[in-house]
Chain A
Amino acid sequence: MVDPALETPDWIRATETGAWHLTGSQCPTCSAAYFPGRRHCVECGADEETRPFDVGGGGEIYSWTRIHVGAGAPYVLAYIDTPSGVRVMGRMDDAVSAQVAVGTYVSFLPGVADGELDGGHRVGHIALMEGR
């Protein structure tokens, strides 16, 4: 279910099946993929601008940690290796973390900030959920 009030930035979108996919960019010349997207390729330095690229809806945890210091702690950070070859950092709420491990498949979701500033509708980070 997509919350109609959710202000989704251009790097995450709901697919027809209800899954969330990240949008990065890809170089039309050398096919290097990026997330977050960037206007120009830094691999081949092509003049031609990159194009939007579907990073996919999730991937496997490369590594993770639970952070106990700083704003919003505790929370879990993880690097996710996507099938598109891009590594993405995402964030889990603490309750989910007990079930995660290196190699676990997680899906991307729009991560909403605590809502102090904007009523909780602004997507600020990538939230992770175990499973597909």
Chain B
Amino acid sequence: MSREPYVLGVGMTTFGKHPDATLGELGAEAVRAAVHDVGGPVVIDEVFAGSALGGMLVGQRVMREVGANGLPIFNVENACSSSAAALHLALDRVRSGVCETALVVGVEQLTKLGGGPLPLDADDWEAAQGMVMPAVYAMRARRYMTETGTTAEDLAEVSVKNHNNGVLNPRAAWNKTIDLDDVAASRMIADPFTLLHCCPSVDGAAAVLISTKERAEARDGDKVRVLSSVVRSGEFKNGFRDMTRSALSFRAIEQAYTEAGITARDVDVAEVHDAFTIAELMYYESLGLCGRGEAVELLRSGATQITGSTPVNPSGGLLARGHPVGATGAAQIVELVNQLRGDAGAVQVTNDPEIAVAHCTGGGAWGFDHGVCSIHLLARC
């Protein structure tokens, strides 16, 4: 019998530098916060742990620190979508009735890797040319600018919005109000991107407990149901590809909307994968929030601000919350569940949201527009 999966509890660490914690301790802090959020005893049946660079047995190292050993644990690597993919699997286990309550934890400790762009596979053809992740998005940006007349200052508006959202978010790594001049004055990374066009590599963990309707109803307050969960991978292509348009995101989002029986107009709040400023504009288009080439106009209208009609990245997004790669997918869910419950504090959106979308990608291998895209649609009920 198929059961509708609900979010039972959520929790996360602050994102930033956590040099004194082990990876396991960091993950455990998020798990304890999620259990605490439930407000009563929780029996976890299975664990799905997402991490891209955390090494072997991440889930075991986390669960050791919370004293819950011997459970079935599945460790999932899918680049930036690692914990979003872990969530997808956990939802299936609850939906199919295999387990009652599943724990999803995403954890990453990037500051221990020495900073700078993420390490890529040394055998990757494009990495051998000197490719780094900022370069891919910088080339998307330049082409997008060439085709649509968008300027570097337009892109910087995304940075200003998200960093200033992040200032209001106690979980975000960023804590300083900025303006367009600050974005332009930060050091050049891969033109047209200065540093403030790029998400910081940080440490952090986030956890989500998925369970049945019956369990979720035992908790006071609004319930959050998962309407759809989609994980798709990129299509290898060696020929010409439109880099200004995330074909993979379009595909994944279309599938998620169809499965949930909704359209873009029903979306009240979104967390999208703004690893670089251009990405948020591209994903406005992928999500159907605006048409081709209309993203800058949508941004400038204020619609995607915290107080707008469709807020995007009220948490500060990857740009300001920070991007502990494998933890990002779960962190988006934490932020959106807080929004749907009305528990988001200073970053609470003002449109009384009922439906939220989490969009997470993952890249770093040549021949794909992105390696992976994960979509989760959540509803307050």
Contact = CB atoms under 8 A, between A and B. Distances in A.
Given A33-B238, A77-B135, A124-B128, A69 B143 contact: no
Given A68-B190, A69-B190, A86-B238, 5 more contacts: A63-B146, A67-B138, A72-B130, A79-B139, A87-B241
A77 B134 contact: no
B132 A70 contact: yes
Contacts of B142: 63-65, 102
A65 B135 contact: yes
Contacts of B239: 33, 85-87
A36 B134 CA distance: 23
Contacts of A78: 139
Interface of A: 32-36, 42, 62-72, 75, 77-79, 81, 85-87, 89-91, 102, 124-126
Contacts of B135: 65, 67, 77
Could you tell me the dominant secondary structure of chain A's interface residues? Answer: strand
A77 B116 contact: no
State the 9 A-B residue pairs at the shortest beta-carbon distance, nearest first. A65-B138, A63-B139, A63-B143, A65-B190, A68-B188, A125-B129, A67-B190, A102-B146, A63-B142
Contact of B236 (A36, A42, A69, A89): A42
Interface residues of B, number: 31
Interface of B: 116-117, 125-126, 128-132, 134-135, 138-140, 142-143, 146, 187-193, 236, 238-241, 243, 366
A63 B243 contact: yes
A116 B128 CA distance: 16
Contacts of B193: 65
Contact of B129 (A32, A69, A91): A91
B140 A63 contact: yes
B241 A65 contact: no
Q: Which of B128, B130, B188, B189 has the most CB of A within 10 A?
A: B130
A33 B239 CA distance: 8
Contact of A35 (B132, B188, B190, B238): B238
A124 B236 CA distance: 23
19 contacts: A33-B239, A62-B139, A62-B240, A63-B142, A63-B143, A65-B134, A65-B190, A67-B130, A67-B134, A67-B189, A68-B190, A68-B191, A69-B132, A71-B130, A78-B139, A86-B238, A87-B239, A87-B241, A89-B125
Nearest to A75: B130
B327 to A, nearest CB: 23
A24 to B, nearest CB: 8
A81 B240 contact: yes
B117 A69 contact: yes
A67 B146 contact: no
A72 B193 CA distance: 18
A77 B238 contact: no
